[in-house]
Amino acid sequence: MKKIEIFDPAMCCSTGVCGPSVDPDLTRIASVVYSLEQKNFDVTRYNLANDPGAFTENKKVNRMLHEKGADVLPIILLNNEIIKSGDYPTNEEFAKWLDVKESELQQKPKVSISLDFD
């Protein structure tokens, strides 16, 4: 099974819905991660603000940060090898790397809320 790790820049959350406006790229990545998790891919995201230890413990990520600075984030690893940095992968790239169809990467979490109007 292929393993994807995403080392995100510091942010309040990974959904892209926080802040003054919605970040469509982050919401797309959140949907891709959700879709891959539903297919039992091993996907882990690390947020520099919440998981700084993950950035120092991974020698490849740590070295890249020291050499190029925080602008190199996000860093994407596939099976422990850096395959992209400085920008999030496109759905086409995810599909190619993981041998899935792009159309399979657009699932969105469904949330059910029961309301009581009494």
pLDDT in tens, 63-82: 999 999 999 999 999 999 99
Q: 83: alpha, beta or left, given left = phi > 0 and alpha = psi -120 to 50?
A: alpha
CA–CA distance, 86 with 70 (Å, rounded to integer): 9
| Predicted confidence band of residue 118 (pLDDT cuts 50, 70, 90) | confident
| Predicted confidence band of residue 25 (pLDDT cuts 50, 70, 90) | confident
pLDDT tops 80 at residue 108: no
Calculate mean pLDDT across residues 98-107. Answer: 88
